[in-house]
């Protein structure tokens, strides 16, 4: 038996969990190896110290007293997160899209075509969605929905980086 096999089984040997043949192999190795014998002696000292420790029994009202102290702590003030700007932004985005479409500044079909190229490069079958939308005359609605969704995702990502950490702390009751 080598030292690594002995040290791996030493705890099981000390606890009497090995078969008789394995226990004899370990005992023989411990008799012939000073390093493993020293490890066994250190483990024995650790066992002796652990056995000498007394068990601490918590008082019967421990849980109730801890919970009472927690109840006495001040409740953190809830911080309101105002999202009024989101409604205003949505209205402004729809108004801008409608105005630009009516003035023929932007072409919904051109936007859908450009989005189709972009999505095609991204592996999304936007052409199929375009054909379905064209068949049902939903191009303007589809373009508006995509434009608003992209804009809201961009605004959400930008604003989220600033306000979400604060919101998380407020929800968890952290003091700032």
pLDDT confidence of residue 176 = 47
pLDDT average, residue stretch 163-176? 57
Q: Is residue 163 part of a domain?
A: yes
Q: Supply the range of the domain harboring residue 162.
A: 84-172
Do 43 and 91 fall into the same domain?
A: no
pLDDT confidence of residue 138 = 66
Do 39 and 111 fall into the same domain?
A: no
Q: Alpha-carbon distance 118 to 120, whole Å?
A: 5
Do 88 and 24 fall into the same domain?
A: no
Q: Is residue 65 part of a domain?
A: no
Q: Alpha-carbon distance 99 to 87, whole Å?
A: 18
Provide the pLDDT confidence category of residue 77 given band limits of 50, 70 and 90. confident
Number of domains in the chain: 2
pLDDT average, residue stretch 37-47? 90
pLDDT confidence of residue 72 = 92
Q: Classify residue 173 by its DSSP letter.
A: T
Q: Is residue 64 part of a domain?
A: no
Do 97 and 152 fall into the same domain?
A: yes
Provide the pLDDT confidence category of residue 125 given band limits of 50, 70 and 90. low
pLDDT average, residue stretch 8-36? 90
pTM: 0.34
Q: Alpha-carbon distance 148 to 159, whole Å?
A: 16
Q: Alpha-carbon distance 140 to 112, whole Å?
A: 9
Do 96 and 160 fall into the same domain?
A: yes
Do 94 and 42 fall into the same domain?
A: no
Q: Is residue 57 part of a domain?
A: no
Q: Alpha-carbon distance 152 to 83, whole Å?
A: 13
Q: Alpha-carbon distance 78 to 65, whole Å?
A: 26
Residue that finishes a domain, picked among 52, 69, 92? 52
For residue 133, give the nearest of 119, 122, 121 by alpha carbon.
119
List of E strands, 56-119: none
Higher per-residue pLDDT: 170 or 67: 67
pLDDT greater than 60 at residue 174:
no
Q: Is residue 63 part of a domain?
A: no
Do 88 and 149 fall into the same domain?
A: yes
Q: Is residue 151 part of a domain?
A: yes
For residue 47, give the nearest of 92, 15, 1 by alpha carbon.
15
**Residues 6 or more apart from 15 whose CB is under 8 A from it?**
none
72-81, 88-97, 129-138, 161-170 — most confident range = 88-97
Q: What is the pLDDT of residues 57-66, one digit of tens each?
A: 888 999 999 9
pLDDT greater than 50 at residue 120:
yes
Do 39 and 107 fall into the same domain?
A: no
- Tell me, rounded to whole angstroms, the distance of Cα 51 from its chain centroid: 41
Share of the chain above pLDDT 70, in %: 74
Q: Is residue 45 part of a domain?
A: yes
pLDDT average, residue stretch 105-124? 70
Q: What is the pLDDT of residues 133-150, one digit of tens each?
A: 677 666 677 677 778 888
Do 38 and 96 fall into the same domain?
A: no
Do 40 and 120 fall into the same domain?
A: no
Q: Is residue 32 part of a domain?
A: yes
């Amino acid at each position: 038996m080598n030292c690594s096999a002995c040290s791996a089984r030493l705890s099981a040997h000390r606890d009497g969990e090995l078969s008789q043949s394995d226990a004899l192999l370990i005992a023989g190795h411990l008799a012939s190896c000073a390093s493993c014998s020293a490890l066994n002696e250190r483990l024995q000292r650790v066992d002796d110290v652990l056995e000498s420790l007394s068990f601490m029994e918590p008082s019967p009202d421990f849980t109730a007293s801890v919970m009472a102290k927690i109840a006495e702590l001040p409740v953190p003030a809830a911080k309101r997160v105002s999202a009024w700007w989101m409604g205003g932004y949505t209205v402004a985005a729809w108004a801008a899209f409608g105005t630009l479409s009516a003035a023929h500044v932007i072409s919904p079909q051109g936007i859908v075509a450009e989005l189709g190229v972009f999505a095609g490069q991204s592996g999304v079958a936007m052409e199929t969605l375009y054909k379905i939308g064209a068949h049902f005359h939903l191009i303007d609605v589809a373009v508006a929905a995509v434009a608003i969704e992209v804009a809201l995702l961009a605004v959400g990502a930008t604003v989220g980086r600033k306000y979400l950490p604060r919101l998380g702390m407020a929800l968890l009751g952290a003091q700032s």
